[in-house]
Amino acid sequence: MRTLSTEKNYPKVKWHSSFHNGWMDVVLSVPVFKKYMFENQLNVKFVIYIADDFFIHKFGVEDWRSMEKEEKEKHRENTVKIIDEHMSGNKASGRSLISPFFRDQNGNLIKGIEVVPIDDKIKDGSFLPDATAGNSEILFPMGVDPCLLGAGIPGGSGGGLNGAGSDKREAYTILSTRMPIRRIRTLEIFERIRDWNGWEPTLYGNFPNINLTTLDKNPNGQQTIVN
């Protein structure tokens, strides 16, 4: 990625590394890839094989052989439609399909109907771990623990980011311990205003800090501490 326009006038900051090392490009490319994958992929789950012996045994040898080509094709399509209706939809979950077996002149078994699932080479959730890793790599230079923002794969492990809540509590505590210097710099503005306006020199500004606890120690799970 090219140099950020702000870097021409201001020094580089640590979170700019996400632009230079390529993680920002990785995270932005995953939604685009997913979008076109859903638009262009074939959503076919099964291949249905129907042997001609199935129709011969169903209609009889003479009747089947005497049928016109168009009529035979109509029977084939109707059979596939019946199988689709039998296997598709929520109510089809757990259903069975009975397929007759026949033997040819040599005694070999012939499957009347065979339903073969198509192996999906692009599995569900592909590239989501890469996006999760990219999101974390972007947050690390910013000094933010990914679990504070709920980073992770919904329904998955997400690299241990889908915790029970203690991970967020400890991450918030660690983040709060890193804030004093920034808060002092922010309060310098208030102190300058105080001195300029002639307010009491004992008037100080502070930040309330929420100390997260567990419910067995505090019914509402938090305590307010001013530091």
Type and span of the H or E element at 209: strand 208-212
pLDDT per 10-residue tile (average), the chain, 227 residues: 59 81 87 80 78 85 87 89 83 79 78 81 71 84 81 53 70 84 90 93 86 65 54
pLDDT at residue number 193: 94
Rounded-to-integer distance, Cα 4 and Cα 6, Å: 5
Cβ–Cβ < 8 Å for 175, 144: yes
Structure tokens at 31: 């939604």
Rounded-to-integer distance, Cα 180 and Cα 226, Å: 12
pLDDT at residue number 190: 92
Structure tokens at 170: 């400890």
Token look-up 């000094």 returns 143
Structure tokens at 93: 């979950």
Rounded-to-integer distance, Cα 47 and Cα 16, Å: 50
Residue of 132, 96, 127, 113 whose CA lies nearest to 50: 113
Domain ranges of the chain: 46-117, 179-227
pLDDT at residue number 155: 46
